[in-house]
């Protein structure tokens, strides 16, 4: 889906894929989301975690087809929120590890029962962050509701 060159085709394929997610149970849908979003080529920097007003809408994200780790996390969130599983609480949580100079952009579902974007392509339900990692931002569904219309 990520390698389709036409924007309209990519958006239509993403819509159909999200529709198929709705026919799966939650764990299968989250596994599919984790796998699909782990297969895209990554850029080093596209979005800033503290400039949410510059974050793209779901359709702009798919249209731009340019993804950093935060954009992947945002795409996972949009995929869940715009599928039949949108009733599950999805949050974007962002940690910064000052010692390792690393950022962790995670998509947390149902209060951390499921976490995406920690172990690429997999769902985890426990999170072991380095002790030096600190929570920097937490964006809940309500924070992102403006983009989801």
pLDDT tens digit string along 43-71? 888 899 888 888 999 989 998 888 999 99
pLDDT recorded at residue 142: 57
| Bridge partners, residue 93, by sequence | 106, 138
Give strand pairing partners of 134: 96
3-state secondary structure string, 94-112? EEEECCCCEEEEEEEEHHH
Domain boundaries defined on the chain: 7-148
Q: What is the 3-state secondary structure (H, E, C) of the chain?
A: CCCCCCHHHHHHHHHHHHHHHCCCCHHHHHHHHHHHHHCCCECCCCCCCCCHHHCCCHHHHHHHCCECHHHHHHHHHHHHHCCCCCCCCEEEEEEEECCCCEEEEEEEEHHHCEEECCCCCCCECCCCCCCCEEEEEEECHHHHHHHHC
Predicted pLDDT at 2: 65
Encode pLDDT of 93-144 as tens digits: 999 998 988 899 999 999 889 999 998 899 988 777 788 889 999 988 656 6
Structure confidence at residue 131 (pLDDT): 83
**pLDDT for 34-50, tens place per residue?**
999 999 988 888 899 88
* CA pair distance 34, 146, nearest whole angstrom: 24
β-pair partners for 108: 91, 115
Percent residues over pLDDT 90 in the chain = 53
pLDDT at 147 over 80: no
Predicted pLDDT of residue 148: 64
Of 109, 112, 113, 120, residue with least CA distance to 39? 120
pTM value? 0.91
CATH hierarchy code of domain 7-148: 3.10.620.30
């Amino acid at each position: 889906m990520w390698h389709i060159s036409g924007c309209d085709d990519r958006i239509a394929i993403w819509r159909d894929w999200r529709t198929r997610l709705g026919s799966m149970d939650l764990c299968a849908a989250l596994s599919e989301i984790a796998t699909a979003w782990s297969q895209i080529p990554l850029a080093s920097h596209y979005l800033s975690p503290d400039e949410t007003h510059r974050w793209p809408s779901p359709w702009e994200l798919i249209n731009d087809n340019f993804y950093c780790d935060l954009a992947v996390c945002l795409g996972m969130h949009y995929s869940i929120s715009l599928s039949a599983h949108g009733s599950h609480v999805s949050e974007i949580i962002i940690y910064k590890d000052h010692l390792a100079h690393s950022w962790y952009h995670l998509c947390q579902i149902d209060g951390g029962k499921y976490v995406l974007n920690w172990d690429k392509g997999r769902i985890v339900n426990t999170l072991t962050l380095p002790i030096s990692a600190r929570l920097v931002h937490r964006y809940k569904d309500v924070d992102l509701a403006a983009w989801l219309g």
